[in-house]
Amino acid sequence: MTTHAASRTPQQSRSRATRRRLLEAAVECLAELGWNGSTVAVVAERAGVTRGAAQHHFPTREDLFTAAVEHVTAERLAAVRVDTGELPPAGPERTAAVVELIVRLYTGPLFRAALHLWVAAATEEPLRTRIVALENHVGRESHRAAVEFLGADEGIPGVRETVQATMDMARGLGLANLLTDDGPRRAGVVREWARILDAVLARADDRS
């Protein structure tokens, strides 16, 4: 390793680590404190970074939180992609496992953080434009992943809409879990939904 490389690389890697700590702290703050309580100063403190350093990475509050939800979503999707290596082969058990994976994404702290950001964006204009773009991107990525994991053939009428309905239901379950633990009720709904979705996927060829 040359002196030149040694003097640059640790600094770049420190900068990347700082950035990542800020993004993760931002999502934690949003999930716990909501939009009002999540200032850049609060996030910087949680990340163990000066406010100046935080602003060097993210000039505005909107930059920080939009990037945070985007970053953590990409990480979760990548983690889910690894988990799917362990899924059962095609069939009712795989469908049930994938539906559970999707619902878990929508009922965890990331969804809670995103929900605070989405709702704040409804009444705050600089944020709104950013979040609409993010929503399109995240929505497309999540849908594509669901289709892949389910092995769904979207060329068959009704399959695309039923996969979308699954994401919509998961989003609704996430919202129902905001103030109270909705776990016991949710388990029954998810089990029944998985059964129905699997029947749609399995029967799909007979319908076209």
115 binds a second copy (CB under 8 A): yes
Distance CA 118, CA 21 (A): 22
- The torsion angles phi and psi of 47, rounded to 5 degrees, stand at -80, -5
User: Is residue 164 at the binding interface for a second copy, with CB under 8 A as the rule?
Assistant: yes
- DSSP E strands in the chain: the ranges are none
The smaller minimum CB distance to a second copy, of residues 93 and 192, is found at 192
Q: How far apart are the first and last CA of the chain?
A: 62
Taking CB under 8 A as the rule, does residue 36 contact a second copy?
yes
Minimum CB distance to a second copy, residue 190 (Å): 9
Q: Is residue 89 near a second copy by the rule CB under 8 A?
A: no
The nearest distance, CB 57 to a second copy, in angstroms, is 25
CA 100 to chain CA mean position, Å:
14
Residue number, 49 or 121, with CB nearest to a second copy: 121
CB of 148 to a second copy, least distance (A): 19
Cα separation, 80 vs 57, in Å, equals: 28
| Relative orientation angle of helices 159-176 and 92-107, to the nearest 10 degrees | 40
- Binding residues vs a second copy (CB under 8 A): 32-34, 36-37, 112, 115-116, 118-123, 128, 131-132, 135, 158, 160-162, 164-165, 167-176, 178-180, 185, 188-189, 191-193, 195-196, 200
